[in-house]
Amino acid sequence: MKGRVKRELDKRAPKLVETGKKTLILQGTKTSGTLNSVLSEIYNLKKGGAVRYTRKNDNIRPFESGGETSLEFFSLKTDCSIFVYSSHSKKRPNNLVIGRMYDHHVYDLIEVGVENFKSIESFSYDKKIAPRVGSKPFIAFIGEGFENVDELKHLKEVLLDLLRGEVVENINLAGLDRAYVCTAISSNKVYLTHCALRLKKSGTVVPRMELVEVGPSMDLVVRRHRLPNEGLRKEAMKTAKDQPKKKVKNVSSDAIQGTVGKIYIPDQKVGEMALPNKAKGVKRERREAKNKEANEHASKKQKEESE
Amino acid sequence: MFRYELVKECLQEGTKLVQVVADSLFNLPSTQDVDGPLVKLPPPTTKLPREKHLPKPKPPTKWEEFAKRKGIKKRKKDKVAWDEQNGTWKRRFGYDSVNDGKDIPIIEAKMTDEPGEDPFAKRQDDKKKRVEKQEKNRLQNLKQAAKLGALPSLLQPCSACCYGSAPPKKVTKDELGNVAGMAATSTASGGKFDRKLPGEKPAKKQGKHRKFLPVVEGTGIGSREKEQTENDKLISKHSHEILNLDKSYSHDVTMYNVKKKKIKKARNRKNQEGKSSSTSNKLKPKKQLHKKGAKKGPGSSKKGKAQ
């Protein structure tokens, strides 16, 4: 059992490169028929990486300062970093709050109202092109609002995170079968729809794409949103590559020559070098010095003898 | 009708965008896979926030530091090794391993061996000691990593494997000793009939905690005085709350608080003499607070007694 526990904990440990967030889908005290279908269909879309809670949670109020503790606890328990919380009231009918977590604390929130919801059942299409569970989607955002309007920029980021699925490096081109199309109808309303892809033969390597709506589709009206504060945002946006690669000094790489290094040689002190080939003059000096020494020795001895 | 046209236009625009992405996608270099062509995706351009913080690099273990210093490199070893004695391939370590001592028939005696010592048992003991030492070293390494905050919070060594909690602070021996006693006295019969663990010391204050006032007011502080001192204690504890807003008395009140000690000493001295009042000006602030104390009187004195 120790091994299994350790493996589970390792899965939940922070990783250098992250592999997609799990989604927690839950509801508040009052809910409507529309919202129920919305939640179950979102759960179906994200089957592999989502957790659905079916009970009512009346102590969750995402936008209030104390009302997030339950959410953070659930996020910790299920290891989910995005949540979709639905609630229905007279003031905010068909309300969805989509929020993200950083280190299991609320990072940002966006509240949207669902209008003109059409469920999967209401679309008729050829079942053969139905998208398979877990396939990577194309996500398209149409409209200038997604560049200019703050709320829509935020919504775009959140929808990307929500609909993205697993983060992969390689992708199988035969498995591309779904697309989400998100159009900004007004400065606070977005039309989101889910389509299946039909790849038609064209003359080239690239097939011709055809989108067929399979549902669900809905209008999202942005009501409230809370952006993360600047410090937290910077912290969360840090990636592993940000740490600059340590620069090795005097090494550069060239396209033609490859890795090139520079070597610095200090100046030669010519006067102080030891000459390898002993010049004649040097030899003679040594010989004379030797003779002198020998003479001194001899004279000393003589002196001793005479004494 | 308008809605239908909107949807049609969205799909058209969406198709265009998806086609553009597909163009660049299908033109990437692909390798052949079982299900279809596999392409390696280029690195992402949109930055999305992480769900957990970046993992801190683990500090090197004591062995790793030593190996780095000495220049020892890891060598790849096989899982199985050839056992000469049995003539089979056995594991290098573990259950049925090469040199595990089960089939050593004879151990030659050395000069350093004591007579009467079982060498087979000695081998087993040595192995146990080695295993214990290794475990101790492993835990020390984990502690070191945890100290530097490099362990993911859920992988704390041993005790704190509950979700999200910090490792519990060290409980002293005395505290632990008191806990059982406190729990016992909170039962209806004051812990008299509780089953005791071996070695558990009896609680410091046995039986139910009850305080009885003396029947006759002897020497020392009488009951009224006791009530007064208890009130004073309560008031001084909550002085930051009570100290309010009646400005006409504020200078008196502050005087009381600042000169609290002196007044108490004076009062005590006076009480020992048998009188229950002090000089008039010192009495003023005391009187005012006494009023307030009286309001709280019955309630607070009960609190004081039922500790």
**Is A14 near chain B, with CB under 8 Å?**
yes
**A82, A161 Cβ separation under 8 angstroms:** yes
Q: Which two tokens stand for residue A216?
A: 């669900």
Q: Which of A104-113, B14-23, B227-236 has the lowest mean pLDDT?
A: B227-236
Residue B271, pLDDT score: 55
Assign residue B7 a region: left if phi > 0, alpha if psi is -120 to 50, beta otherwise?
Answer: alpha
| Pairing of the two strands A23-27 and A82-87 | parallel
Q: Which of A8-17, A150-159, B89-98, B237-246 has the lowest mean pLDDT?
A: B237-246
- Token look-up 């997609």 returns A20
Q: Which of residues 21-80 of A touch B (CB under 8 A)?
A: 21, 76-77
Q: Which two tokens stand for residue A107?
A: 């990072």
Residue A194, pLDDT score: 94
**Is B11 near chain A, with CB under 8 Å?**
yes
Query: Which among A104, A85, A95 has a CA at the least distance from the CA of A21?
Result: A104
Q: Cβ separation of B37 and A172 shorter than 8 Å?
A: yes
Residue B119, pLDDT score: 85
Q: Give residue-wise pLDDT tens across range B212-264.
A: 776 776 666 666 666 667 777 776 776 665 544 444 444 444 444 444 555 55
**Most B CBs within 10 Å: which of A183, A191, A219, as the mutation test of the B interface?**
A183
Q: Which residue has the higher pLDDT, B118 or B261?
A: B118
First to last CA, chain A: 102
Nearest CB neighbour to A170, from listed B6, B39, B48: B39
Stated pTM of the model: 0.61
Averaged pLDDT for residues B274-283: 45
- Does ipTM exceed 0.85? no
**Is B35 near chain A, with CB under 8 Å?**
yes
The whole-angstrom distance between B1's CA and the closest CA on chain A is 14
**Most B CBs within 10 Å: which of A138, A177, A214, as the mutation test of the B interface?**
A138
A56 - beta bridge partners? Answer: A27
- Greatest Cα pair distance, chain B, in angstroms, is 106
- Token look-up 């390898």 returns A276
Residue A143, class by beta-carbon neighbours within 10 Å (0-12 exposed, 13-18 middle, 19+ buried)? buried
Q: Cβ separation of B18 and A101 shorter than 8 Å?
A: no
What whole-number distance in Å separates Cα of residue A294 and Cα of residue A288? Answer: 10
Query: How many C-beta atoms surround the C-beta of residue A135 within 10 A?
Result: 15
H helices of chain B, where? 2-26, 62-70, 119-147, 173-185, 223-237, 239-242, 250-258, 260-272, 280-305
Q: Cβ separation of A18 and B47 shorter than 8 Å?
A: no
**A35, A27 Cβ separation under 8 angstroms:** yes
H helices of B148-279, where? 173-185, 223-237, 239-242, 250-258, 260-272
- Token look-up 């009530």 returns B227
**Chain B CB contacts of A5 below 8 Å:** 161
Q: Cβ separation of A191 and B10 shorter than 8 Å?
A: yes
Residue B139, pLDDT score: 93
**Most A CBs within 10 Å: which of B20, B52, B154, as the mutation test of the A interface?**
B52
Residue B247, pLDDT score: 46
Taken in order A54, A60, A62, A68, is the CA torsion positive or negative? negative
Averaged pLDDT for residues A289-293: 86
Q: Which residue type does B243 have?
A: L
